[in-house]
């Protein structure tokens, strides 16, 4: 279970032209209701047109119940092997069988924790907001001016290719947990949204 292999990308956008030259991305890219294009809770004088609202998440691991079933099966086999070694007099091997179960339980726990991270990108004509929630610690937020943002991503993508947003000499990497193809597909969506932001008069 590797967090970088597959991801969930949730995107809400409004009339953004997609690059048709790139083959269709077959990963989990979901386009939601394009009519959700404003923050209804804001006063009318402060309403901002939302051109892109995207949440990037690692692919979630198996359910807790499934992981517990697997752990129970492995534990049963290891107990049987440990008992057989003890009966044969090779008792020093038994603790290592328990260590295997402990390491597997830790790996399952780490996988579930890693799946909690996400990145939330919100684009309006005058602001690109990036909220990043790591596995541990507090979320951090970066705000960029869409007019100056450049999207850098290799095309075609390589295994080591990173999706970077450049502005005023600084770079912000996003989607590091995505597969290269997913990063390239999202880069196309983000470029199209930024193009629209530059053509839209801020409200």
CB 75 within 8 A of CB 19: no
pLDDT number for residue 202: 58
pLDDT number for residue 156: 85
pLDDT number for residue 47: 53
pLDDT number for residue 184: 92
Supply φ then ψ for residue 72, to 5 degrees.
-65, -40
Q: Parallel, antiparallel, or unpaired for β 29-31 and 7-13?
A: parallel
H or E, element range at 116: none
Token pair in block for residue 174? 């996003």
Per-residue pLDDT of the chain in tens (203 residues, 90 and over written 9): 444 444 444 454 444 443 434 444 333 333 333 333 333 333 434 457 899 999 998 876 777 788 888 888 888 888 888 888 888 888 788 788 888 888 888 888 777 777 778 899 999 999 999 999 888 888 889 999 999 999 999 888 888 889 999 998 889 999 988 889 999 999 999 999 999 999 886 55
Q: Using CA atoms, how far apart are residues 182 and 179, in angstroms rounded to an integer?
A: 5
pLDDT number for residue 149: 94
Whether a cis peptide bond, with omega within 30° of 0, leads into 61 is: no
Indicate the burial class of 47 (C-beta count within 10 angstroms; 0-12, 13-18, 19 or more).
Answer: middle
H or E, element range at 68: helix 64-87
């Amino acid at each position: 279970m590797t967090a970088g292999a597959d991801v969930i990308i949730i995107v809400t956008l409004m009339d953004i032209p997609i690059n048709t030259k790139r083959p269709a991305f077959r990963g989990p890219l979901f386009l939601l209701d394009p009519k959700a294009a404003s923050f209804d809770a804001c006063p009318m004088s402060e309403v901002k047109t939302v051109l892109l609202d995207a949440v990037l998440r690692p692919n979630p691991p198996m359910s807790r119940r499934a992981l517990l079933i697997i752990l129970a099966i492995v534990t049963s086999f290891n107990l049987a092997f440990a008992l057989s070694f003890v009966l044969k007099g090779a008792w020093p091997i038994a603790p290592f069988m328990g260590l295997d179960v402990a390491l597997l339980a830790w790996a399952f726990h780490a996988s579930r924790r890693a799946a909690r991270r996400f990145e939330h990108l919100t684009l309006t004509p005058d602001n690109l907001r990036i909220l990043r929630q790591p596995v541990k610690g507090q979320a951090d937020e970066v705000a960029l001016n869409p007019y100056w943002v450049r999207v850098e991503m290799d095309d075609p993508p390589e295994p080591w290719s990173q999706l970077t947003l450049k502005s005023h000499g600084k770079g912000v990497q996003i989607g590091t947990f995505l597969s290269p193809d997913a990063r390239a597909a999202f880069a196309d969506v983000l470029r199209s949204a930024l193009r629209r932001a530059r053509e839209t008069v801020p409200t």
